[in-house]
Amino acid sequence: MNTLKIENISFKYRDDRELLSNINFQLNNNEVVGLFGDSGSGKSTLCKVMSGYLENYKGNITLNNKPIEDGFNPVQLIFQHPEKVMNPRWNMKKILNESWMPDKKILDDFGIKKEWFKRYPSELSGGELQRFSILRSLNPKTKFIIADEITTMLDCVTQVQIWTSLLKIAKENEVGILVVSHDHNLLNRITDKIIYFNDLNG
């Protein structure tokens, strides 16, 4: 089993107030955990700290009781807006294959069509792009996914398709998921338990 442990994490942006204060919790790879909290409380900041995007934090993040090594991060963050983290000059094939080469079955599971590979990020819809973004993060070396509002901007049908594909592949590969969302119904439906950000912070 893989365990991601967050211990005594505190963080502030530059000289601002301390936004994250002494946060402790852990995720196991066989669980889907929800994170719910007020807007602006610091959930996305915590996600970025957990996945290595923000470094000047206090405390420890360990995977199976060891610090996370440099190189490919086994804790992968998926953002709400995939277009912001994709190179607009790369086609989708290059963007996906920079991480790994999924086989046809996985592409089919995610509803990714072959003809999309030649297109650039600006030539796909938000839902189509998010499928690539999720699949890119599911590199075989990934142990945990941090999903920060990943389907907020999509319609209900696309949300269901995306979550069904993601939960299936995560379960098959024993990848743990932290789901950040304001949608309590979604969290109730897909998670094993829900953590309240206010209970963690401070």
Query: Which positions lie near ligand ATP, rule CB under 6 A?
Result: 13, 19, 37, 39-45
Specify the residue for token string 């030649």: 118
3 state SS for the chain = CCEEEEEEEEECCCCCCCCEEEEEEEEECCCEEEEECCCCCCHHHHHHHHCCCCCCCEEEEEECCEECCCCCCCEEEECCCHHHHCCCCCCHHHHHHCCCCCCHHHHHHCCCCHHHHHCCHHHCCHHHHHHHHHHHHCCCCCCEEEEECCCCCCCHHHHHHHHHHHHHHHHHCCCEEEEECCCHHHHHHHCCEEEEHHHHCC
Cα 183 to chain centroid, rounded: 16
112 vs 146, beta carbon nearer ligand ATP: 146
Rounded to a whole number of angstroms, the minimum distance from the CB of residue 60 to ligand ATP is 20
Least Å from the CB of residue 27 to ligand ATP: 18
Rounded least distance, CB 100 to ligand ATP, Å: 28
CB nearer ligand ATP, residue 17 or residue 105 = 17
Given the complex with ligand ATP, which of 77 and 112 has the nearer CB atom? 77
122: how many CB neighbours lie within 10 A of its CB?
9
- The C-alpha atoms of residue 81 and residue 172 are separated, in whole angstroms, by 26
Closer residue to ligand ATP (CB): 2 or 41: 41
Whichever of 13 and 72 has its CB closer to ligand ATP, that residue is: 13
Is the CB of 44 or the CB of 62 nearer to ligand ATP? 44
Q: How far is the CB of 34 from ligand ATP (least distance, A)?
A: 13
CB of 18 to ligand ATP, least distance (A): 11
CB of 23 to ligand ATP, least distance (A): 12
